[in-house]
Amino acid sequence: MSYHVDKVSWLQKKALLKQIRERVFVYELHIPKEVEFDSLDALSEHVIIHSEENEAIGTGRLSPDGLISRIAVIQSHRNREAYASLLNFLVLLASQKGLDTIYVNCILDEVPNFVESGFLKQGCVFMEAGIPRQKLRCPITSFNTEPFTMLH
């Protein structure tokens, strides 16, 4: 299956972005809605990934400081190709913005995949929305999507 990723405006696509993220994070993973949506949404670059049938099946965002977050893919499309498409597009946006480093606040189970992909641990483990996470950083030139399968 092939996917298509587009950069979108938070103001113009807010309803669709919220619908996808609520489906994945709020209803499936039980993240409180007030935690899922924050002030960074209005400041960040957002993307939507579409299936071959042009169905919106996922989203992600890039914060001004290079933090890649809110990667949400509906369950029927959680595969390496969908995640690689989303991540590669977000990294391309970071590069176009002149950023040389990207960051993720990674759930602990996924840290080995990110480390294998060129990320380095930064700081201590912390709690976000009741989930232990590790901040990781990666120079854009070292980023590799190969090890990724599922990010939530």
Render pLDDT for 17-64 as a digit per residue (tens, 0 to 9): 999 999 999 999 888 888 899 999 999 999 999 999 999 999 999 999
* In the chain, domain spans: 4-150
- What are the E-state strand segments in 44-130? 45-50, 56-62, 68-73, 101-107, 120-128
Domain 4-150 in CATH: superfamily?
Gcn5-related N-acetyltransferase (GNAT) (3.40.630.30)
Give the model confidence (pLDDT) of 103-139 as tens digits: 999 989 989 888 888 899 999 999 988 889 999 999 9
Number of Cα atoms under 13 Å in the Cβ half of residue 58: 30
Assessment of whether the complete model's pTM goes beyond 0.85:
yes
